[in-house]
Amino acid sequence: MVYNRIALWEKECKKEVKVVLSDRQKLILKAILEEYVTSNEPIGSKSLTEKPYLDFSSATIRYDMQSLEEKGYLEKTHTSSGRIPSELGYRYYVDHLIIRDDSVLEYFKYLDEILDNAKLTKEETLQKIADFISELTGYYAIILGSSTDFAKVMKMEIVPLSEKEAVMLIVTDSGAVQSQKITIPQGYRLEDLLRIIQMFDNAMYHHSVYEIREVLSKEAAKPRIRQLVDFQDDILNFMIKGFSRFSNTETYDSGLSRLFNQPEFQDYQVMQQILKAIDEEAIKDMASGGSNGLKIHIGKENHHSGLQSCSIISIPYYIGENEYGTIILVGPTRMNYRAVIPLLEYVAKSMTKLYNR
């Protein structure tokens, strides 16, 4: 009986403690974050008392600011007695406190003009939209556009050319047949590759080329696969690379220089890290979640070290059933979330205007 009570107590202690903020603390956190987004200066209690919706004494506000700092939502800088939001504070804000800024609605008509301009090709339109998003926000905008990445794989075949070379064929649901010449990895025979392809055939069926990396990785981890074949990571990587060659993603980007005009990115080393991440296409990898809606990665939520000073927002868009892509916006963690989120949502929703363009 005593043992059971001790075990129960240990279990309760291990439970994650849920931090609860008072309504007043939520208002203060929201006010600090939105003012900091504009000013890029630490926020003190005196400036907060001037806000009409924070009708509290300076001492009360200072107490709550201290409490928010202790809970990890605010940080104190070394150069000022004011506070700035932490990454946890930004996350709480976008998850619970954000109210979309209606002032951005006035810019939607300009986006409509770009999308409704029949004289522009689809490619020209996507580039102009990337330019417009970057000019309006001051951040780095990327639009990934593709028709082949998201076509469904209906059939896959390997046609041998020699002992070490073959052609990989895929047939998509649109009836298109694509091919890539491949060289069989050292230490493997064509028969080995054919056997592995057959094992994965059902798993890959009706998945898009865009999803194949995730599908192959999940299948390769299953015990039955490991038991049936001496499955090595090099052959898995070979297959993933083979499929990636089918990818024909077009990239439209704008505003890298604007991003580096942000005060957070004036440091040369920070700039170099971001440029390296872009060169390694780490931003695109983060947007590879398919059609799961708007995503926001803040600071260290970005796994690539070069992007941990940034916030990255991505949202999928659809042109047709088998044609869609992703809009990505890269900025500082001090991003104007309440304005850029409705902007990106509207752009994504409006992309259907490009159908048959």
Contact 220, 231 (CB under 8 A): yes
3-state secondary structure 195-253: HHHHHHHHHHCCCEHHHHHHHHHHHHCCHHHHHHCCCCHHHHHHHHHHHHCCCCCEEEE
Strand order in the sheet with 140-145: 250-254, 140-145, 323-332, 310-320, 295-298
CA-only gyration radius of the chain, Å: 25
Does pTM surpass 0.75?
no
Q: List the domains of the chain with CATH numbers.
A: 2-97 (1.10.10.10), 102-146+250-354 (3.30.450.40), 153-244 (3.30.390.60)
Q: Quick one: which of 83, 94, 68, 79 has its CA closest to 32?
A: 83
Contact 148, 209 (CB under 8 A): yes
The pair of three-digit structure tokens given for residue 221, joined into one six-digit string: 């981890």
Contact 16, 313 (CB under 8 A): no
Q: Quick one: which of 317, 323, 290, 285 has its CA closest to 302?
A: 285
Rounded Cα–Cα distance for residues 234 and 216 (Å): 13
Alpha-carbon dihedral 191, 197, 201, 205, rounded to 10 degrees: -140
Rounded Cα–Cα distance for residues 229 and 334 (Å): 50
Q: Residue-wise pLDDT tens for the chain (357 aa)?
A: 444 444 444 444 444 446 789 999 999 999 999 999 999 999 999 999 989 889 999 999 999 999 999 999 999 887 667 899 999 999 999 999 999 999 999 999 999 999 999 999 988 999 999 999 999 999 999 998 765 555 678 887 888 888 888 887 877 776 667 777 778 777 777 887 777 777 777 777 777 766 776 777 777 777 766 655 555 555 666 666 666 655 556 789 999 999 999 999 999 999 999 999 988 778 877 665 555 789 999 999 998 999 999 999 999 998 877 678 899 999 999 999 999 999 999 999 999 999 877
Alpha helices in 15-119 (DSSP H): 23-39, 45-49, 58-70, 87-92, 108-116
Amino acid at 330: V
Angle at 343 between CA 338 and CA 346, to 5 degrees: 130
Structural element, H or E, at residue 335: none
The pair of three-digit structure tokens given for residue 88, joined into one six-digit string: 């946890």
Q: Quick one: which of 180, 188, 197 has its CA closest to 243?
A: 180
Would the CA dihedral through 196, 152, 218, 314 be positive or negative?
Answer: positive
